[in-house]
Structure 1
Amino acid sequence: MVRLLFGLGVAVVVFTIFSLVDCALFEKTRIRGVPRAVWIIVILLLPVIGGVLWFIIGRGRRSSGGARSMAPDDDPEFLGQLGRDAAQEERIRRLEQELADLDDDKPDSTDRRDGDKPGRTDA
C-alpha cells in the first residue's frame, strides 16, 4: 500500500511540474480563460485538478488563420511558383536554342584533321 501511495505521489508531482512548465512556456496569445499567472496559481493550489483544468480549458488550439495546411494545388503561392518556373524553363530553352543556332552558323576551326594544322610541314 505504501508503494502505491508513493507511486501516486510521484505521479502527481511529475504531472504538476509538467503542467507548470507547459503553462509557463505556452504561447501567450493562445492561453484561454484567465491570464498565465492565474493559471500557474491554480495549478499550484490544486495540483491534479489545476493541471487537468489547464489542459482542458486554458490551453488554446492553434489558430487556423495562417498556419493552415493545404494541398499544393490549393496554395496560390505554390501555383504562382509553378508559373514562374515554367517561364524560366522556356527562357532557358530559347537561349540554348539561340546558342545552338549561333554555333551552327559559325565555321568551326576545330574540324581540321591533324595533317591540316597550320604551321606544320610534312618534311
Structure 2
Amino acid sequence: MLYLGGLFGLVTIGLWIFCLVDIITTQEGDCRNLPKMGWLVVILFLPLVGGVLWLVAGRPQGTSAYRAGAYERNTPGFPEYDRPGRFAVPDPAADEEFLRRCRERAEEQRRKGRGES
C-alpha cells in the first residue's frame, strides 16, 4: 500500500509541475475560463484538482506538445512542390526553351563582365 501512495504522490507532483510550467508559458489571452493569475492560484493551492481543472477547462484548445517560439519558423502548410500557385511546366519543350534563354542571358552577362561586346 505504501508503494501505491508513493506512486500517487509522484504522479501528483509531476502533474503539478507540468501544469505550472504550462500556465506560465501560456500567453495571457489564451487561457480559458479564468485569467492566468487565477489559474496560477488554483494550481498552487489545489495541486491535484487544480491540475485536472487546468487540463480540462483552462488550457488553450488546439495546443500541441510543441509550440514554436517567438523566433522559430513555422513549417509551411504545403510541401514545396505541392504549393498552390506554383508554376509547373506543362510540356518539356517549354522547359528547354526557358533553360536555353537562361544560358543565353548568363553568357551575355559574362561577356559584359569581361568587357567584351
TM-score interval, smaller chain: 0.5 to 0.7
2:108 partner amino acid: E
Q: Where is the helix percentage greater, Structure 1 or Structure 2?
A: 1
Shift of 1:34: 1.1
Q: 1:17 to 1:98 in 2, by over 3 A?
A: closer
Q: 1:98 to 1:14 in 2, by over 3 A?
A: closer
TM-score (norm 2): 0.56
Cα distance in 1 between the residues matched to 2:40 and 2:110 = 72
Shift of 1:29: 3.0
Aligned pairs, number = 93
Find the counterpart in structure 1 of residue 103 from structure 2: 93
Cα distance in 2 between the residues matched to 1:58 and 1:97 = 64
1:38 partner amino acid: G
**Secondary structure at 1:44's aligned position in 2?**
helix
Find the counterpart in structure 2 of residue 70 from structure 1: 77
2:33 partner amino acid: G
Find the counterpart in structure 2 of residue 111 from structure 1: none
Q: 1:75 to 1:60 in 2, by over 3 A?
A: farther
Identical counterparts, % of pairs? 29
Cα distance in 2 between the residues matched to 1:16 and 1:25 = 14
Find the counterpart in structure 2 of residue 41 from structure 1: 41
Cα distance in 2 between the residues matched to 1:16 and 1:30 = 20
Q: Which runs of 5+ in 1 are unaligned?
A: 107-123
Map 1:4-43 onto structure 2 (within 5 A). 4-43=4-43
RMSD: 3.8
1:4 partner amino acid: L
**Secondary structure at 2:50's aligned position in 1?**
helix
Shift of 1:74: 4.0
Cα distance in 2 between the residues matched to 1:90 and 1:54 = 63
Cα distance in 2 between the residues matched to 1:29 and 1:90 = 55
